[in-house]
Amino acid sequence: MTSLYKKLYAIPYYLWLGLFVIIPLVMLLWQSFSTTGSDTVSFDNYIAYFSTPTYLLMTWNSVVYALIVTVLTLVISYPVAYILTRLKYKQLWLMLIILPTWINLLLKTYAFIGIFGQYGSVNNFLTFVGLGRHQILFTDASFIIVASYISIPFMILPIFNALEEMDDNLVDAARDLGANGFQTFIRVVWPLSLNGVRSGVQAVFIPSLSLFMLTRLIGGNKVITLGTAVEEHFLTTQNWGMGSTIAIILVLAMVLIMYLTRERGDKK
C-alpha cells in the first residue's frame, strides 16, 4: 500500500518533468534538424554552426565570460561563506545575502544601469574625487561585475552548507598535529568543502553560459554570447532551426559541466 501511495505522489513530478523538460527538449532537438523554408530533416544547421567562425567565437566568448564570472564569484563567495560559519547570527546574515535573489532580475539590472550610467552614482563619485566621468556601462567589465553580483548568493549557499556540516574536530586535530592555518585549509577545510564548491560552480557557470538580458542591457550588445544568439534567432531573424541548434549545444555543454563537476565517490 505504501508503494502505491509513493507511485501516486510521483505522478505530478513525472507530469511536470515530461511537460516542461522532456517535451520541450524533444521539440528543440527536432527543430534543430530543420532548415528555414524546407520540411526536410538535415544536419545543415549543425554543419553551419561548426563551420562558421562567428558561432565558434560566440561559443568561446560564452565559455570565457562564464569562467570569469564563476572564478570571480568563487573568490568572493568562499571567504564570505567561511566567515559566515564563524558568526554568531550566521543564519540572519545568510538570509540578508540571499534576500536580493527575491528581487526580479530585470529590476536589479535597471538599478545597475542607473549606478553605472554616465550620471550614475559611480561616475558622480569619480567626478567628486577628481577622476572625471568614464564610460562604465556597456563594457565587458560592467557585464562581469553585474553577472557576478547576481550569481554570488548561488555560490555562497552551497559552500556555506558544506562548511557548516564540516566537523570542527577535524580542524582542531590538524592544529594539534602541528599544521598551520594554511596547511589546515589546504589539507582539511578545502577538500571537505569541495562538494559545496562543485554545486556552486554548477549553479553559477551553467546559467552564465546562456545569459542574454544582461548582455543587452548592461553589455550594450558588445558582449555577444550563445544566449544572445538564441534570442536573436528566435525573436529577430526567425531562424528557429539555428536557434534550436544553438540551444541544444548549450544543453549539451551544461550536461558536460554537470558531469565534470559531479560528486565523485571513493572508488574501492
| 122-170 residue pLDDT tens | 999 999 998 888 888 888 999 999 999 999 999 999 999 999 998 888 8
Neighbours of 210 (CB within 10 A): 21
Average pLDDT value over all residues in the chain: 88
Cell of 205: 557557470
Q: Report if residue 149 sits inside a domain.
A: yes
Residue 70: pLDDT band by 50, 70, 90 thresholds? very high
Q: Report if residue 80 sits inside a domain.
A: yes
> What residues are paired with 137 via a beta bridge?
none
Q: What is the pLDDT of residue 6?
A: 76
Residue 250, domain CATH: 1.10.3720.10
pLDDT average, residue stretch 202-225:
86
Residue 170 is part of which domain span?
A: 52-260
Alpha-carbon gap, residue 26 to 144, rounded angstroms = 33
Q: Report if residue 215 sits inside a domain.
A: yes
pLDDT average, residue stretch 211-223:
83
pLDDT average, residue stretch 68-92:
93
Q: Report if residue 31 sits inside a domain.
A: no
**Which backbone phi and psi does 58 adopt, to 5 degrees?**
-60, -40
Cell of 101: 535573489
Give ∠ CA 197-199-201 in degrees, rounded to 5: 70
Q: Report if residue 1 sits inside a domain.
A: no
Q: Report if residue 11 sits inside a domain.
A: no
pLDDT average, residue stretch 43-48:
91
Residue 267: pLDDT band by 50, 70, 90 thresholds? very low
pLDDT(258) > 80 = yes
Q: Report if residue 40 sits inside a domain.
A: no
Label residue 69 exposed, middle or buried (CB < 10 Å: 0-12, 13-18, 19+): buried
Number of domains observed in the structure of the chain: 1
Residue 10: pLDDT band by 50, 70, 90 thresholds? confident
Which residue type, as a one-letter code, is found at position 15?
A: L
